[in-house]
Chain A
Amino acid sequence: MNRDEEMRRMLEEADRIPESLNMGRIVKKTKRRKRVHDIGIGFRNLAIFAVLFTAVLATGVNTSKAFAEAVENIPVIGAIAKKLDFQDREEIKNILEKDKGLESVIDNYYVEKYGEVKKGKNSGLAVTMEYAIADDNNLSLLWRIDGKEGMVYTFTDTYLTDMDTNKTIDVNYASGDFAKAGALEMYRIYWEGYHENVSLTVRLGSYDGESEEMMYLDYYTFSLKGMKRMEPKVIRPGITFDVDGMSYSVSEIRMFPTLTEIDIAAEDAFDIRGGSIQLVLSDEKGNQSQEMGFGLVESGGFGNGKTTKELTSGYFTMEGNLNLQINEVTYELADSERMRMNRFTGEIVYRGETISGYAFEKDNRDFEVFLNDGEYAVAIPGSYAEQVNAVLFEAGGYCSFEDLSIKPVTVDGVKYSVIIMPSWYHCDSDLEMVEFGKVRTGQCAINSEYKVDTTKTVDYVPGKREEITVHSPSVSEVNFDAGISKWMYVDKPNRKVESEEYAITIKELQLTSRRADIGISVESKNGSTVENAFVGIRIVDGYGNCASCQTAFMEEVDGIKWGIVAREDDSVLYWEKGYTLYIDFIQVETEDGLSFSETVDKVLEVPFR
């Protein structure tokens, strides 16, 4: 074969475009990575100061029947989860087959049952879209397939169209477990905001466990009309805890049917440049909801504000008292030299706060505060309450009642207007949190049968403030147990490595258990200005673990170009025995253009000093 013929064959080969180069997959993958990137960007360019610890915050969420009954038209945590346990497929099957419990529960709580069945043209497989649960963050689909024994199925591509506007809906990310034939499975689609009427197209994929082959089957289209917008239940636990002099708070938890968002803030204003926190939310049944992504914190967010973590379960999938476990907190300071952190051990017991209250109105009319099963009611005699729209609490500032209902009740023959204060009620995010007792869900609960426990009544005397001591049952204790000793190093070797055209100075390495940030300066020997650098970097710890042998795209900060190499799995790097740094090659962009892939024939070994 001559060269021309060879070239033609090569061109033909290159023209055979693989099926997986479809835009659906590319868009999905790109957006998914962007999502993870957005979360993880906070790690860039940081001096690192790491503390690892374990904290367990027990946040009690009342799921009692009494409370459930007191709340009208509001789905309650646990009520559905008792019927719908996603961890146990068999149970769901039994419910569906025997007493139709799932349908009735879901119908009661405004989740649309569709039951739409579509058959694949080629495969002949019937897919049933049983339910769709929509909220502002995601669309969770419960589906089943009339498939073959021994095969498992999943959706591989997802396209959404708003049927009202006929516009494509951006899908941030979609995922689901493999479904066995006949089993109910959840497929979750993350989107930017709720849509009521949606046309959904998904592609079915089947996986043969024996041959380990994935087959791409038919596209299925479903019309999901009239989906309810499922509201979050908002819990404001106001938990604050200290670790090694740093204060953190869990300010708000928004629980959606199948997703939970948790706001966490670092309270200290000094120079934290980033950090990470890992959360696990579990319930009494052992269902766990873990965070998505890498668990990193947005750039700057941890230092001067709050970050939001997303966990993969919600009030349809959790039951009973919830336990929020903080497994790991890492925070990162600027300008840190090499540091070794002592193991953190200790225990912080969180106790209830002491609050006092008085009427806000200028007349300072009497009111009473009742405690009932951890819930507080502000009771104002007669009809006066109808004129009151605010009460000031010392610990929490101004609380508006504008959105709360007022209910007349009679207790021991005395008429009261009662405003039941949901214990999560949070006055102003800029002010101190008020803790009123048990952590509550969602909205103000009004119960005409409300019974006041008079033995716990606090009589308020105008002109005086009486303290109400609250030993909050909601946050009983915070335990920290580091258990693991971790290391952080910042090294400034200032070593120079020269290639034919460039001089590279290794300025600084910031080494944590998961990754290495490497700062270099690059000078061109011919005087050109170096604009960008792409550097092949490997760094190996003292035990031979490599921090992802990859090319680092360098970004410049304060004259130093920084690149990151990181572990992509869960394993840990240990730096106490030093490290070996490999600069495999460097590719530099100067004002004169790109210099492609110049080899730097050096290996930098730095035993730890």
Chain B
Amino acid sequence: MLKDEEFFGRVDTIRKKMYRIAYSYMNSESMAIDMVDEAVYKGYLKKKQLKEEAFFETWMIRILMNLCATQYKKSQREVQLPESMEWSDETEFENLDLKEAIAKLPEQYRQLVILKYFGGYSTKEMADLLDIPMGTVGTRISKALSILRVDLEG
């Protein structure tokens, strides 16, 4: 099991990445810090459960993503936004700011956009993080970008 020093040392190495991911989810500095704090706390509580220390980052990011997704959903409810949206018509995204457009993406696309562009994760890493096949990651990223009409591959 990770000792306290090791745990916080590892957190230190990924905290900026965690913040970027949280910020891109929440679009708020204070909320992003809250999410990072919460994720570190949850991780600290459950660190005994981490069997392979090599997966620390994956594990922490996954906790963070879960928290952000949950909080995001909650905040949507609080401002009475639609819980989910039908996005069959991609053109409706065109008039939105990119930030809003990402926020309105269905969760399975939004998380990949955030992981890729704000977390800097590779397709393989994202597949590991989300427990989905690499092919699915590629498909979803491609679909997400086409919805957003952004061309940042590379």
**Interface positions of A (Cβ within 8 A of B):** 3-4, 6-7, 10-11, 13-15, 17-18, 20-21, 23, 26-27, 29-31, 33-34, 37, 168, 170, 534, 536, 549-551, 553, 584-585, 587, 592-594, 596-597, 599, 601
Pick from A7, A10, A536: contact of B74, CB under 8 Å: A536
- Residue of A7, A170, A599 with highest tally of chain B CB at under 10 A: A7
CB distance from A298 to the nearest CB of B (A): 15
Q: Are B33 and A10 in contact (CB under 8 A)?
A: no
Q: Are A11 and B118 in contact (CB under 8 A)?
A: yes
Q: Are B19 and A33 in contact (CB under 8 A)?
A: no
B5 sits at the interface (CB 8 A): yes
With the chains together, A78 CA to B150 CA distance in Å?
A: 73
CB distance from A581 to the nearest CB of B (A): 15
With the chains together, A3 CA to B113 CA distance in Å?
A: 14
Q: Are B20 and A14 in contact (CB under 8 A)?
A: yes
> Using Cβ atoms and an 8 Å threshold, which residues of chain B touch A14?
19-20, 23-24, 118
> Using Cβ atoms and an 8 Å threshold, which residues of chain B touch A551?
70-71, 74
> Using Cβ atoms and an 8 Å threshold, which residues of chain A touch B69?
587, 596-597
Q: Are A597 and B15 in contact (CB under 8 A)?
A: no
Identity of the chain B residue whose Cβ is nearest the Cβ of A20 in the assembled complex? B33
With the chains together, A31 CA to B19 CA distance in Å?
A: 20
A–B Cβ pairs within 8 angstroms, 10 of them: A3-B151, A4-B152, A14-B20, A17-B16, A18-B29, A534-B66, A585-B83, A597-B70, A599-B73, A601-B83
With the chains together, A18 CA to B74 CA distance in Å?
A: 24
With the chains together, A13 CA to B26 CA distance in Å?
A: 12
Identity of the chain B residue whose Cβ is nearest the Cβ of A13 in the assembled complex? B23
How many residues on chain B are close to A (CB under 8 Å)? 48
CB distance from B145 to the nearest CB of A (A): 9
Pick from B11, B12, B62, B84: contact of A599, CB under 8 Å: B84
Q: Are B149 and A3 in contact (CB under 8 A)?
A: yes
- Residue of A15, A21, A550, A585 with highest tally of chain B CB at under 10 A: A21
Q: Are B118 and A27 in contact (CB under 8 A)?
A: no
With the chains together, A281 CA to B136 CA distance in Å?
A: 62
Q: Are B150 and A7 in contact (CB under 8 A)?
A: yes
> Using Cβ atoms and an 8 Å threshold, which residues of chain B touch A30?
8, 37, 40-41, 44
> Using Cβ atoms and an 8 Å threshold, which residues of chain A touch B72?
597
With the chains together, A115 CA to B103 CA distance in Å?
A: 56
Say what secondary structure dominates the interface of chain B.
Answer: helix
With the chains together, A18 CA to B18 CA distance in Å?
A: 12
> Using Cβ atoms and an 8 Å threshold, which residues of chain A touch B45?
34, 37
Identity of the chain A residue whose Cβ is nearest the Cβ of B22 in the assembled complex? A14
Pick from B42, B107, B152: contact of A596, CB under 8 Å: B107
Q: Are B150 and A3 in contact (CB under 8 A)?
A: yes
> Using Cβ atoms and an 8 Å threshold, which residues of chain B touch A599?
73, 83-84
Q: Are A23 and B23 in contact (CB under 8 A)?
A: no
With the chains together, A599 CA to B15 CA distance in Å?
A: 30
Identity of the chain B residue whose Cβ is nearest the Cβ of A600 in the assembled complex? B83
- The answer to whether A3 and B37 touch (CB under 8 A), given A596-B69, A599-B84, is no
With the chains together, A33 CA to B15 CA distance in Å?
A: 18
Q: Are B131 and A593 in contact (CB under 8 A)?
A: yes
Interface residues of B in 3-21 (CB under 8 A from A): 4-5, 8, 11-12, 15-16, 19-20
With the chains together, A21 CA to B97 CA distance in Å?
A: 27
> Using Cβ atoms and an 8 Å threshold, which residues of chain A touch B19?
14, 17-18, 21
Q: Are A18 and B20 in contact (CB under 8 A)?
A: no
CB distance from B142 to the nearest CB of A (A): 15
Identity of the chain B residue whose Cβ is nearest the Cβ of A535 in the assembled complex? B70
Identity of the chain A residue whose Cβ is nearest the Cβ of B72 in the assembled complex? A597
B143 sits at the interface (CB 8 A): no
> Using Cβ atoms and an 8 Å threshold, which residues of chain B touch A26?
8, 11, 15, 36-37, 40
Q: Which 6 A-B pairs have the closest CB atoms?
A: A593-B131, A6-B98, A14-B20, A3-B150, A596-B107, A14-B23
B55 sits at the interface (CB 8 A): no
CB distance from A189 to the nearest CB of B (A): 16
Q: Are A536 and B149 in contact (CB under 8 A)?
A: no
- The answer to whether A6 and B152 touch (CB under 8 A), given A14-B20, A21-B15, A596-B107, is no
> Using Cβ atoms and an 8 Å threshold, which residues of chain B touch A536?
70, 73-74
